[in-house]
Structure 1
Amino acid sequence: MSASAKKTSSSTSVNHAAIDPAGFVKLGIQLPALADTLAQAINELGLSLSETQQRTLLLYLDQLLLWNKAYNLTAITDPKEALIKHVIDCLAIIPHLPSGSLLDIGTGAGLPAVIIAICQPERACTALDSNQKKIRFIKQISSELGLHNMQPIASRIEAHEASYEVVTSRAFASLIDFVHVAQPRLAAEGRLCAMKGKAPSDEELQALEHDWRIDTIKLTVPRLHDSRHLIELSAKNV
């Protein structure tokens, strides 16, 4: 990626984002509208992101779509839909995340790990996935975007040994399964944060509530009409 691709237009604002098109390949003529949609969503979520961070989020989206076929990253190919269902969807959890080092299990294309790393450069983020092709993509994009706080690792969670203050996932179908595999990687007094569509069932909550304090946060994701929740769990025995 050229140096000019990393520069941010000084005319970017919350209400109308005019992003320098240099360095973008897939977003093309949709870039101004996508930049506006992103800026408005950031404002609605109450986030404080710089012009450079907003541009970096769009560059990530551009590269995600550019390399999608080679790395099999997403079934969504429409730029606006991908912006809403991937980038903005992940942005919605950031105001609720506890502080500290973060592990994203089953990160896929880096969702939410890359989004968090862009928005919170002070946080150490580890993106973990057993799919080596997807981890290669994250390594490539992290280098190009200058994400020095991102560590992509190709591994199964069972073979990973470090511990973290926050463990996230966007991919696990079962909350119980996520807790089972994530708990060994959780530091003392850490939090598990599971991105889910629907809220957990009573059966899931009852299976976990003996050992875990559970907070179900209903999320409002700008431009997305589907149900979204963030489930935060902390162990009772610490």
Structure 2
Amino acid sequence: MQDDHRALFENGLGQLRLNCCKRQIDQFLHYTELLIQWNKVYNLTAVKTPREILKVHVFDSLSLISHLKGDRFIDVGSGAGLPGIPLAIMSPEKDFTLLDSNGKKTRFLFQVRTELHLDNVQEINKRVEHYSPEKPFDMIITRAFSELSTMLESCGHLASKKTIFVAMKGKVPKKEMRSIPEGYDILSLTKLSVPGLDRDRHIIKIKAQDL
């Protein structure tokens, strides 16, 4: 990775008010290189250049870091590992499950986990409705996965009453928010600030109602 990309990454970290050790910075840049390499064959993302990957994917994922609560997280429809891989690099003390039904994408995730030595990550090649975890997750995270109602209906079996659903969105999905299933409450809608990204980004937190 060229020095200017490292400088861009470190500048983005500063804007996000995040601190990384050298090993973590190297992991982030290695991940970017792997994504570019594999993308030539498997078309993992429409974003092609290192600078755009850092801004559109890595910084966007890291904008979620201050919202993580708990120890066990699942990234549903993880694709190329977004936001799961950046979050796992940044939070080595937390456990992340990356779930995707596409075998090519989970093979990429296996390669990333192996080369980056991410002991806090496991990749699962299954449809969400066919995956049964040993115990519920503290947070269920989606990014460009589906509408809110579909997310809640398809991921409900992964949750306990304490689990927080976190949906990363672009513009505020007012219609989706009005259409969430009964039994759930919207806890918050938060606008995200992503370094170098001139577009709307929001996260919505949802929780099952207490009985």
Same fold at TM > 0.5: yes
Helix, strand or coil at the partner of 2:154:
helix
1:129 aligns with 2:100: yes
Q: Which has the larger radius of gyration?
A: 1
Q: Equivalent residue for 2:132?
A: 161
In structure 1, distance between residues paired with 2:69 and 2:172: 20
How far has the Cα of 1:194 moved from its partner? Answer: 0.7
Equivalent residue for 2:180, pick from 196, 200, 208: 208
1:182-226 CA-partner distances (Å, limit 9, x unpaired): 22211330111111111121x322323852133111000000011
Is the contact made by 2:71 and 2:94 (CA closer than 8 Å) also made in structure 1?
yes
Single out whichever of 56-65 and 187-196 deviates more from structure 2.
Answer: 187-196
Is the contact made by 2:75 and 2:97 (CA closer than 8 Å) also made in structure 1?
yes
How far has the Cα of 1:135 moved from its partner? Answer: 0.2
In structure 2, distance between residues paired with 1:97 and 1:125: 11
1:78 aligns with 2:78: no
Is the contact made by 1:165 and 1:188 (CA closer than 8 Å) also made in structure 2?
no
Structure 2 letter corresponding to 1:207 = S
How far has the Cα of 1:109 moved from its partner? Answer: 0.7
Q: Equivalent residue for 1:171?
A: 144
By relative contact order (CA 8 Å, sep 6+), the higher-ranking structure is 2
In structure 1, distance between residues paired with 2:100 and 2:40: 18
Q: Equivalent residue for 1:225?
A: 198
Q: Equivalent residue for 1:109?
A: 80
1:65-109 CA-partner distances (Å, limit 9, x unpaired): 011122221111111111110111111111112222011110001
Q: Equivalent residue for 2:33?
A: 62
1:38 aligns with 2:9: yes
Task: Specify every segment of 5 or more residues in structure 1 that has no aligned partner in the other structure, as ranges.
Answer: 1-26
Q: Equivalent residue for 1:20?
A: none
Q: Equivalent residue for 1:150?
A: 121
In structure 1, distance between residues paired with 2:123 and 2:145: 19
In structure 2, distance between residues paired with 1:143 and 1:152: 11
In structure 2, distance between residues paired with 1:49 and 1:235: 34
In structure 2, distance between residues paired with 1:117 and 1:206: 32
Structure 2 letter corresponding to 1:200 = P
In structure 2, distance between residues paired with 1:209 and 1:185: 16
Is the contact made by 1:197 and 1:228 (CA closer than 8 Å) also made in structure 2?
yes
Structure 2 letter corresponding to 1:215 = S
Aligned length in residues: 208
Is the contact made by 1:213 and 1:236 (CA closer than 8 Å) also made in structure 2?
no
1:21-64 CA-partner distances (Å, limit 9, x unpaired): xxxxxx4xxx2111111111111112222121111111100110
Q: Equivalent residue for 1:186?
A: 159
Cα RMSD, aligned residues only: 1.4
Q: Equivalent residue for 2:169?
A: 196
Identity of aligned residues (%): 35
How far has the Cα of 1:118 moved from its partner? Answer: 0.5
1:106-128 CA-partner distances (Å, limit 9, x unpaired): 00011011111111011110000
Structure 1 letter corresponding to 2:179 = A
